Amino acid sequence: MSDGPPGLQAERTGLAWSRTGLATGAGALTLARLASLRGAPVLAAIGLLVAVLALAVLVEGGVRGKRRTDWLLDQGGARALPRAAIGLVAAVVGLAGSGLLLVVGTG
């Protein structure tokens, strides 16, 4: 099975980064809102921090995705996004941990 013209795989990867960043940001903002409604300002602050981190990952992933696609079309190789991956993992772990604390801590 063919993957199509060169660069499409990198484009799909970039779109996946965008979806993940947007979903993480939306979850973080939801966490911040719920935490503020339940009187948990520390968790609300963590939610906002994770939202900012998700936005940074989204921007970096988009910029690098464009560069990667262009480079793949020119060179035919792949490059990793270590900073963006580390940021996204940190955002997801922060969101999951804060959500767990919100649910367990407020009963």
**Into how many domains does the chain fold?**
1
Q: Is residue 93 part of a domain?
A: yes
Q: Is residue 80 part of a domain?
A: yes
Q: Is residue 34 part of a domain?
A: yes
Closest Cα to residue 26, out of 91, 105, 101? Answer: 91
* Residue 72 structural domain: 8-102
Q: Is residue 107 part of a domain?
A: no
Residue 26 to residue 17: CA distance in whole angstroms: 14
Q: Is residue 24 part of a domain?
A: yes
Residue-wise pLDDT tens digits, 52-87: 888 887 777 766 666 666 665 566 555 555 666 777
Residue-wise pLDDT tens digits, 27-58: 888 888 888 888 888 888 888 888 888 888 77
Q: Is residue 2 part of a domain?
A: no
What is the per-residue pLDDT for 76?
55
What mean pLDDT do residues 1-23 have? 71
When pLDDT is cut at 50, 70 and 90, the band that residue 1 belongs to is: very low
pTM exceeds 0.85 for this model: no
